[in-house]
Amino acid sequence: MRKKLKNSFCFFTMLCLVFCLGMISKAGGPLDGEVIDGSLLTSEEEAKDSRSLVTWGNVTPYGTYLSNGESNIVKKGSGLVYVSGGTYCYRISDTVYVKLYLEKLSNGGWTTVQTHEYTTRNSDYAYTGLNYAVAKGYYYRVRGYHYAKKGSTIESVSTCTSGIYIN
């Protein structure tokens, strides 16, 4: 009976140790939970934002051409992040455009460290994504500017992810 109790104790001790070490390896950033310039700071593995076009003039629930814009940032490990975004349309547009801004939180404000843009013609979407090496110990977010143009009609929307901590 004593041996069984001892084995059970050892098993639960090891289980607790493994669980605690797993929690320690996912240590959060120093500012997790704060909101700076509209972005929630987090230690999640990725952050996304998707916005639909809503015009305020005659309150249209969607655009004639532009459906929505999306921006994403994903931790890839070892100081690498994958930044991506897309602009999506309901129908073929003359020009579909997405511009992504990778931003770093430094001294209480966001500064752009990289930009990337992509344009398609006679299409209903534009999507792009790139890996970037970034400095560890900072929060990063992605802002996106998205537009669709058909003739003289231009519809646009902006996106902005939460800030994720890179350690």
Q: What is the pLDDT of residues 33-57, one digit of tens each?
A: 999 999 999 999 999 999 987 655 5
Structure tokens at 131: 């890996």
Tell whether 60 is covered by a domain: yes
pLDDT at 61: 57
Please report, for residues 3, 8, 53, 110, 139, the alpha-carbon distance to residue 22 in angstroms, rounded to integers and kept in the order given: 29, 21, 41, 31, 22
pTM of the model: 0.80
pLDDT at 11: 47
Tell whether 3 is covered by a domain: no
Pairing type for strands 138-150 and 153-160 reads antiparallel
Tell whether 2 is covered by a domain: no
**Distance from C-alpha of 156 to C-alpha of 43, rounded to nearest angstrom:** 30
pLDDT at 63: 80
Q: Containing domain of residue 57, as a range?
A: 28-166
Contact 139, 121 (CB under 8 A): no
pLDDT at 53: 75
Tell whether 106 is covered by a domain: yes
Q: In the chain, how many domains are there?
A: 1
pLDDT at 3: 56
Q: Which residues of the chain have pLDDT under 50?
A: 5, 9-25
CATH number for position 83: 2.60.40
Backbone φ and ψ of 147, nearest 5°: -150, 155
pLDDT at 54: 66
Structure tokens at 46: 């990725």
